[in-house]
Structure 1
Amino acid sequence: MKTKNTPNSQLTVQTLDFLRDLAQNNNREWFQANRPRYDAAKAEFEHFVGRLLQGIETFESLPNTSVKDCIFRINRDIRFSKDKAPYKKHFAAAVGPGGRHSGRIDYYLHLQPDGESFLGAGMWQPTPAHLAKFRQEVDYNVDELKDIIEAPEFRTYFPEISGESMKTAPKGYSADHPEIDLLRRKELFFMHRYSDKDVLKPGFADEVVKGCRLIKPYCDYLNYLFYDEKDETISL
């Protein structure tokens, strides 16, 4: 089912220009002087995320999830960072039941100029217990996972894989294991990048919803594995 874009749910060049200028002037003085531009860009992104919620709700339940639950603050936490730039260079939202604080695998949308925008989802910075469950499942029953992430439509839309891998086999697994590449994975996060031209198209909300629908089986797989199965303690 396609969502209808309205004028206030389409992203515009003004929003990308604001983010581009912010990257070049990342300080509080400039930000306050350009506060009206930020407010307009933020409102535009909020309307866009609202359209995503409507589209995603056609195939996934999102109870008690509002736009503000999904959108990340633009302020950076600089307390323990060498980089003291106070603001992020992008807008971002995590869409799933409960929004960005759900604690589950959700859809992550990153909006940044110059081809840095992307939709992504998957295993990112898992706990040791979750990583152990993932490796155990790969060892015992890899077919279910591979049927999802090796499907032609999935791989065409999500060609980019992000995340760290071990250089050697994880403890308890042989280096010649037939699925050693997956077992060595510490993170398995799939991404689809969008050009600025893509972002500014009237149908961009529909395009992102399409990507979320395609990656939903992988999110469902991880959520079942990590959160919905009976929890058992697994040591690495």
Structure 2
Amino acid sequence: MNFKRLYQFLRKLQKNNNKTWMDNHRDEYHDVRDDLIEWFNQMDIKLAAVDPHYSPTTGKQAINRINNNLMYHPNKPIYKDHFGGGLDKEKKQSDFYMHFGVNETFVGGGFWHPSNKILKSIRAAIDYNGAEFKKILNKKNFKDTFGAMRAHDSLKTAPKGYAQDHEHIDLLRRKSFAVSHPFTQKETMASDFDDKVIAVYKEMLPFRRYLNQAVTV
């Protein structure tokens, strides 16, 4: 995968974020996109080899559209400033997401802005056995890799049905359960980048499995 070319294209797109420019550079866009799709295909094979419960996901299934959804966000630019995609895709299960952008590059996973039904299931699991979840979050290798869960708005009070003094109230108030590991653009261009992505995937597995079990049971 030629990540250098990917970032070069995104920087040009950021300076010329309009349909006319994109139409004139459509071939370049497709070359970069097809290259990334093939990289996702290769990562799909590599991740399946390290996780027996992995859900096969083709590169075309993985990659996200580069167009912003202007129906819901009319003030956003026409095109995103990044390429993104998710592997290990399974309906109603946690995400494993890769983001390659002008301003940030990261690998992340979990549930970001989940539905009320999924959020309710996660809170029920934490209420039942939040100690296990905290054990995962506080593991040294996990904290070294991800730090804390990604910050997002939380409830100011306890969710309905839970006491204010619940021992896991800090988790129960959360509206998202996701972690991420940043990469520099230079790191994505190194020969060991795929290995680093695999290492992040493996370190994230207990976190995602806890969440997946919470919304499955």
Q: Give the Cα separation in 1 of the matches to 2:80 and 2:92.
A: 22
Tell me the SS of whatever aligns to 1:88.
coil
TM-score normalised by length of structure 1: 0.84
Of stretches 183-192 and 10-19 in structure 1, the one that deviates more from structure 2 is 10-19
Q: Give the Cα separation in 2 of the matches to 1:84 and 1:131.
A: 28
Tell me the SS of whatever aligns to 2:178.
strand
1:69 CA drift (Å)? 1.0
1:62 CA drift (Å)? 4.4
Q: Deviations over 1:154-191 (max 9, x none)?
A: 11101152232112222222222222111111111101
Query: 2:106 corresponds to which residue?
Result: 118
Query: 2:189 corresponds to which residue?
Result: 200
Q: Give the Cα separation in 2 of the matches to 1:133 and 1:202.
A: 40
Q: Is the 8 A contact 1:131 1:186 kept in 2?
A: yes
Q: Is the 8 A contact 1:95 1:107 kept in 2?
A: yes
Q: Is the 8 A contact 1:121 1:219 kept in 2?
A: yes
Tell me the SS of whatever aligns to 2:49.
coil
Query: 1:40 corresponds to which residue?
Result: 31
Of stretches 82-91 and 211-220 in structure 1, the one that deviates more from structure 2 is 82-91
Query: 2:85 corresponds to which residue?
Result: 93
1:69 maps to 2:61: yes
1:64 CA drift (Å)? 5.3
Q: Give the Cα separation in 1 of the matches to 2:54 and 2:61.
A: 11
Q: Is the 8 A contact 2:48 2:56 kept in 1?
A: no
Query: 2:14 corresponds to which residue?
Result: 23
Query: 2:49 corresponds to which residue?
Result: 58
1:211 maps to 2:200: yes
TM-score normalised by length of structure 2: 0.91
| Unaligned stretches of 5+ residues in structure 1 | 1-9, 230-236
1:157 maps to 2:163: no
- Off by >6 Å, runs of 4+ in structure 1: none
Q: Deviations over 1:186-227 (max 9, x none)?
A: 111101111111111121111111111111111111111102
| Unaligned stretches of 5+ residues in structure 2 | none
Q: Is the 8 A contact 1:11 1:48 kept in 2?
A: no
Two-structure CA RMSD over aligned residues (Å):
1.8
1:129 maps to 2:117: yes
Q: Give the Cα separation in 2 of the matches to 1:50 and 1:211.
A: 18
Q: Say how many residue pairs are matched.
A: 215
Q: Is the 8 A contact 2:92 2:215 kept in 1?
A: no
Identity across the alignment (%) = 31
1:41 CA drift (Å)? 1.2
1:109 CA drift (Å)? 0.4
One-letter amino acid matched to 2:88: G
2:97 to 102, 108, 114: 108
Q: 1:182 to 1:63 in 2, by over 3 A?
A: closer
Q: Deviations over 1:66-105 (max 9, x none)?
A: 211111111222123222522111111110145xxx3321
Q: Give the Cα separation in 1 of the matches to 2:61 and 2:49.
A: 19
